[in-house]
């Protein structure tokens, strides 16, 4: 466990990592468990009934999340995203959202969910102050959907969740669709067509080699360029400016005014150069890359009585030492420790 050595004054300069990147975004995994078993994330043969997930006492409490988040905001974080596992499995999540949105300096609080429990929670999430929501939906074909959720999902529930989120005013809603060759790539135009003109923005994500358990194969990746051509041949598309520096999706507008779609091309067009994201696992470890091989516990020093200044010093030191650029190196060399990458369900997407 790293020991905080240098104290950081409250108004200290914000840290930059070893490649000059600031810390702007924090993804907080509030729950390592999930009610789906998407084969590309938590294959059911690995995450079976006797799999040992975290005990509730091992997970950060809301109070601990809030304390750490305040320190991350001091270090430059402005945007928060709650994720998992499935974040809507965490009881009383709106209470946490309400408290996070009231931290001075926090400009945006978003949530990523598989949507299956969303219909019943959408209104209270909005009322708590949630700004934005991303729902994961890989296909509208019920059979493909069932296969891609590990047989656990309810497509109708997810669609109802999207509708209730829209009614609650959680707009613009984004959809994440992971595309795998030979699995759901034949359904991308259905997805784009279904949500065209509704204000919902579908983003197609290249299947990534996160973790070690999803049996990733490069041959299953469908390059965004191919999808862009396929969708563009049906409905002409024109590139849009990015909304902000570091935005991961490349945006395209339907030229007939039907809205926009996005492409997240972590495999074929890595975006490490602008990455300002830190990730906090449900048990309070800080990961500085989605493909990291290890994290550093903030929970342990926090529970051992570390002061805010000591925890801030640790955050500054960990971010300052960050040199991760896994996706950029993937193409040219096999990154060291490849076999022990952290699993995505544990740190969140
Ligand atoms: C890990 S999930 C957590 C939140 C929630 N359970 C959900 O599915 O939206 C976050 C995002 O990561 C994406 N994801 C998981 N495994 C992936 C992989 N191997 N490649 C690309 N995206 C992946 C999911 O599709 C989802 O949009
Ligand atoms: S992608 Fe989301 S819904 Fe699917 S298994 Fe992973 S955490 Fe669960």
- pLDDT tens track, the chain, 349 positions: 444 444 555 566 799 999 999 999 999 999 999 999 999 999 988 888 889 999 999 999 999 999 999 999 999 999 999 999 999 999 999 999 999 999 999 999 999 999 999 999 999 999 999 999 999 999 999 999 999 999 987 999 999 999 999 999 998 999 999 999 999 999 999 999 999 999 999 999 999 987 777 788 889 999 999 999 999 999 999 999 988 877 889 999 999 999 999 999 989 988 788 899 999 999 999 999 888 888 999 999 999 999 999 999 999 999 999 988 878 787 666 555 455 777 777 776 6
Residue 171 confidence (pLDDT): 87
The answer, as to whether pTM is greater than 0.75, is: yes
Ligand 1 center to 41 CA (angstroms): 7
Give the C-alpha separation, 111 to 280, whole Å.
Answer: 14
Report pLDDT for 4: 44
- C-alpha 170/C-alpha 206 separation (Å) is 25
Residues in contact with ligand 2 (CB, 6 Å cut-off): 34, 36-38, 41-42, 84-86, 114, 136, 345
Output the CA 309–ligand 1 centroid distance in Å.
34
What stretch of H or E contains 277? strand 277-280
Kindly give, in sequence order, each residue whose CB lies less than 8 Å from that of residue 59, ignoring residues fewer than 6 positions away: 30, 31, 32, 282, 283
pLDDT for residue 235? 98
Q: Which two tokens stand for residue 264?
A: 């997240």
The answer to whether the beta carbons of residues 280 and 286 sit under 8 Å apart is yes
Measured from the alpha carbon of residue 220, the closest ligand is 1
Atom 9, ligand 1: residue with shortest CA distance: 113
């Amino acid at each position: 466990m790293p020991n905080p050595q240098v104290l950081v004054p409250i108004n200290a300069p914000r840290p930059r990592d070893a490649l000059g990147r600031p810390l702007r975004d924090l993804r907080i995994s509030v729950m390592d468990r999930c009610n789906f078993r998407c084969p590309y994330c938590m294959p059911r043969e690995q995450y079976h009934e006797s799999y040992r997930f975290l005990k509730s006492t091992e997970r950060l409490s809301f109070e601990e999340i809030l304390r750490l988040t305040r320190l991350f905001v001091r270090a430059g974080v402005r945007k928060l995203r709650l994720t998992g596992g499935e974040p809507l499995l965490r009881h009383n999540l709106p209470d946490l959202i309400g408290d996070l949105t009231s931290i001075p300096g926090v400009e945006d609080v978003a949530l990523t969910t598989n949507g299956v429990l969303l219909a019943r929670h959408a209104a209270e999430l909005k009322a708590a102050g949630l700004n934005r929501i991303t729902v994961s939906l890989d296909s509208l074909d019920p059979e493909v959907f069932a296969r891609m959720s590990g047989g656990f999902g309810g497509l109708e529930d997810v669609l109802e969740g999207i509708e209730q989120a829209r009614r609650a005013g959680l707009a613009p809603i984004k959809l994440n669709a992971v595309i795998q060759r030979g699995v759901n790539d034949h359904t991308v135009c259905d997805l784009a067509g279904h949500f065209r003109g509704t204000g919902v923005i579908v983003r197609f994500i290249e299947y990534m080699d996160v973790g070690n358990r999803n049996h990733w194969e490069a041959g299953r990746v469908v390059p965004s360029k191919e999808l862009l051509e396929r969708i563009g041949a049906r409905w002409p598309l024109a590139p849009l400016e990015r909304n902000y520096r570091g935005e991961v999706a490349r945006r395209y507008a339907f030229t007939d005014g039907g809205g926009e779609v996005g492409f997240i091309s972590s495999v074929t067009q890595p975006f490490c150069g602008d990455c300002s994201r830190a990730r906090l696992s449900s048990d309070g470890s800080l990961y500085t890359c989605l493909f990291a091989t290890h994290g550093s516990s903030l929970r342990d020093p926090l529970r051992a009585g570390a002061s805010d200044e000591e925890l801030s010093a640790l955050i500054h030191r960990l971010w300052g030492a960050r040199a991760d650029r896994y996706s950029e190196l993937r193409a040219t060399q096999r990154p060291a420790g490849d076999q022990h990458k952290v699993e995505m369900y544990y740190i969140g997407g």
